[in-house]
Structure 1
Amino acid sequence: MKAYKWKLFAIFIVLFVVYCSGWEEDKAEAASILKPGSENREVRDVQYRLKTLGFYDGALDGKYGPGTSSSVMAFQKEYGVNPDGTVGPATWRKLKKYTLSESEMEIMAKIIYSEARGESYKGQVAVGAVVMNRIQSDDFPDTIQGVVFQKNAFTAVSDGQYGMKPNRTAYRAALDAVRGFDPTRNSHYYYNPKTATDKWIWTRTPTIKIGRHLFAN
């Protein structure tokens, strides 16, 4: 009965997040053009995303001042966007591809904790790196919601362990993964060779072994 309840809970979580994911994508399409003088939640979101990458060190106050503008320009130069200091469609696309919002960072920490809490810190970051690699690949969904809750993508989602509360280490690992720390050599898959039963995963080309997980492409 307990296992059955876990499965029901997991199904509810998947359906709820997929719904929210669609809503977030619709909202992203209609995202405002942000510029000096703008003041709203979207500005705060930009500030948070830039802060996770180390471009911004100011307050998350939702105010588009000189500090935010210069941070946006630094991000634009680094990621090949016209450095005009405003956040238009092109900059939004880059931000959403290479960074996560606060709520998305929570998803990252939860999938890391539920999938790799028994692994070393490097092994936990590695799981987060696989998630980021999938987001940035044309072969997978382009949002963390789409990647994490893709059918049968992660065992912890399927069996309900995703509902566990992550610890501080998982949040730190999530931040490092988003910042580009990738010990997996750009892998898109991982599995435990001692417990894996899916024949397909054994057809993937191994890249590196970290702890109990074998990473592959």
Structure 2
Amino acid sequence: MVSLITTTYIYRSDIKALFQYKAALSYYGSTGQEVKNIQYKLSNWGYYDGAIDGEYGYKTYTAVRSFQYKNGLTVDGVAGPETLSALGLSTGATKAASTSPSTGNRNLDLLAHLIHGEARGEPYIGQVAVAAVVLNRTADSRFPSTIAGVIYQPGAFDAVSDGQIDLEPTSQSIKAAQDALNGWDPSEGAVYYFNPVTATSKWIWSREIIKQIGKHIFAR
């Protein structure tokens, strides 16, 4: 179940533009020398205790967030120009590190893992809608601006909290993630979903309900 955090509806074209912009930065799923440089700096300053391997995984992501918080930067887990500058790194010399062909695949993979953890057994359209909620959040300033940032925001998704995100996604989950990334939003702009049978918060019922798909109610 998704946590109770507020956002607004945006058009999918805006999300695609955001992805194109973020492709010039280092964030969850990026690889290369710039990521190694980030890890090295964060390790030297006590924020990061993982391998200096050039893989922008969860440890790197959380270390970047900690660094941003301590230094008064926007806490989104993305190593953008301000964060790179604060780390003492170039902000334009190593864009290739963030634009490897695998970056899009990693976003797809992460979404598929979330779908499988949160919505396996739900109708296919409902699985796409769950992924769409994640994408709808990425473009609102009240949420992290990347797929990884939204998914790994503390307390945001039960599948992350209970470890089900680590389960291997099915081919259907992967296809649902791809359909959402391609612009299909069956949730019609939803930024929450919840199971009315198990939901314990009265606040969630105050949200504008859009529709129900399978066991999930989608709302904005």
* Pair in the same fold by TM > 0.5: yes
Specify the structure having the higher radius of gyration (Cα): 1
Paired residue for 1:190, among 193, 212, 217?
193
Q: 1:131 to 1:108 in 2, by over 3 A?
A: same
Q: Select which of 173, 177, 189 maps to 1:174.
A: 177
After TM superposition, give the deviation of residue 148 of structure 1 in Å.
Answer: 0.5
Higher helix share: 1
**Take 1:197 and 1:114, find their aligned partners in 2: how far apart are those partners?**
20
Q: Which residue of 2 aligns with 1:52?
A: none
Is 1:25–2:68 an aligned residue pair? no
Q: Provide the residue aligned with 1:119 in structure 2.
A: 122
CA distance in 1, matches of 2:147, 2:110: 8
Which deviations, in whole Å up to 9, do the C-alpha atoms of 1:51-84 show, x marking residues without a partner? xxxxxxxxxxxxxxxxxxxxxxxxxxxxxxxxxx
Aligned to 1:57: none
Q: Structure 2: which 5+ residue stretches go unaligned?
A: 1-56, 68-76, 85-90
Matched to 1:160, the amino acid is G
Could you tell me how far 1:163 is from its partner in structure 2? Answer: 1.3
Counterparts in 2 of 1:134-173, with a 5 A limit?
134-173=137-176
**Residues 20/211 of structure 1: CA separation in 2 closer, same or farther (3 Å cut):** farther
> Separation in 2 of the partners of 1:31 and 1:122?
40
Give the partner amino acid of 1:18: Y
Contact 2:61–2:78 (CA under 8 A) maintained in structure 1: no
User: Given residue 207 of structure 1, which amino acid in structure 2 is its aligned partner?
Assistant: I
Q: Does 1:16 align with 2:41?
A: no
Measure how far apart 1:31 and its partner are. 5.3
What is the Cα-based RMSD across aligned positions, in Å?
Answer: 2.7
Looking at structure 2, the residues matched to 145 and 33 of structure 1 have their Cα atoms a distance apart, in angstroms, of 21
Structure 1 residue runs of 4 or more that deviate by more than 4 Å after TM superposition: 20-24, 31-34, 40-44
Letter in 2 for 1:120: P
1:20-41 CA deviation, whole Å, 9 max, x = no partner? 775972267635598xxxxx66
Amino acid aligned to 1:26: A
Determine the C-alpha separation between the residues in 1 that align with 2:125 and 2:114: 15
Using the alignment, how far apart are the partners of 1:17 and 1:156 within structure 2?
A: 21
TM-score by length of 2: 0.58
1:21 and 1:145 in contact (8 A); partners too: no
TM-score scaled by length of structure 1: 0.59
Residue 168 of structure 1 deviates from its aligned partner by: 0.8
CA distance, structure 2, for counterparts of residue 126 and residue 186 of structure 1 = 9
Matched length: 146
